[in-house]
Amino acid sequence: MPSPERTCVRFARVHRLHAAYRAWSSYRGAGLRTRAFLAGRLAALPLRPLARELGELHGRVLSVGSGHGLNERWLAELNPAVTVDGSDVNAERVAMAALSEDRQPRVRLRLLDVRDLDEREAFDAAVAIDVLHHVPSGDHELIARALAQALNPGGIVLVKDIAHTPRWQHAFNSLHDRLLSAEPETFSREPEQMAALFEGAGFRTERCYRVAPLSPYPHFILRLRRAPPSA
């Protein structure tokens, strides 16, 4: 008989894959190209550690650079304790998401450049999945400060991004980005550098780790907490 631990691991796997399938299939009718792109997106992500982190969030979640909102719908499928306000600068992606948003009413997307974010203590958590390396490095600090301002004291930011090393993985990701988004340059940082930048904006690092070492992408995850105001 399988041990209780093995049964739990299996259950978690089925839950995260089923949630991912439900999120992906909510785009039915979006056209083959978009659906293939979104399936590829899921295949490239480190789903297991991300699902674990997303499962710990609660309340109102802000997502920046949410693209079509696939991860946000996955988050809502995984975690009944959240509603998600997504945002992206790409009008086509936001419009595409709007066509099927009734299939996941706990997720809404709006058109917004993350550098214009100006919310005050409205959110319990924020996520930034593979967006910061698409924004020039000189704007990272401004974004970290805007996220700190958008969160309630004690709120959590989850960053999933791409490290600068190992070099071959970074080169693979740069090629991927060049082919898919025609961007000549990306702006990745090492996980510890990104954590230090958020600490300078008023966060405390709770977790900072690389994931999926066998993937061709240098994925890392940061979990940061907005420090309460000093007394």
Ligand X SMILES: C[S@@+](CC[C@H](N)C(=O)[O-])C[C@H]1O[C@@H](n2cnc3c(N)ncnc32)[C@H](O)[C@@H]1O
Residues near ligand X (CB under 6 A) are 41, 64-67, 70-71, 88-90, 93, 113-115, 129-131, 134-135
Calculate Rg over the CA atoms of the chain: 17
Nearer to ligand X, 182 or 231 (CB): 182
In DSSP terms, 38 is beta-bridged to none
Nearer to ligand X, 187 or 227 (CB): 187
Nearer to ligand X, 19 or 114 (CB): 114
Nearer to ligand X, 9 or 122 (CB): 122
Nearer to ligand X, 34 or 227 (CB): 34
The CB-of-88 to ligand X minimum distance in angstroms stands at 5
Nearer to ligand X, 71 or 188 (CB): 71
The CB-of-160 to ligand X minimum distance in angstroms stands at 7
Q: DSSP per residue over the chain, as a string?
A: ---HHHHHHHHHHHHHHHHHHHHHHTTTTS-HHHHHHHHHHHHHS-HHHHHHHHTT--EEEEEES-TTSHHHHHHHHH-TTEEEEEEES-HHHHHHHHHTGGGSTTEEEEE--GGG----S-EEEEEEES-GGGS-GGGHHHHHHHHHHHEEEEEEEEEEEE-S-SHHHHHHHHHHHHHHH--S------HHHHHHHHHHTTEEEEEEEE--TTSSS-EEEEEEEEPPPP-
The CB-of-134 to ligand X minimum distance in angstroms stands at 4
The CB-of-114 to ligand X minimum distance in angstroms stands at 4
Identity of the residue numbered 83? T
The CB-of-192 to ligand X minimum distance in angstroms stands at 22
The CB-of-231 to ligand X minimum distance in angstroms stands at 35
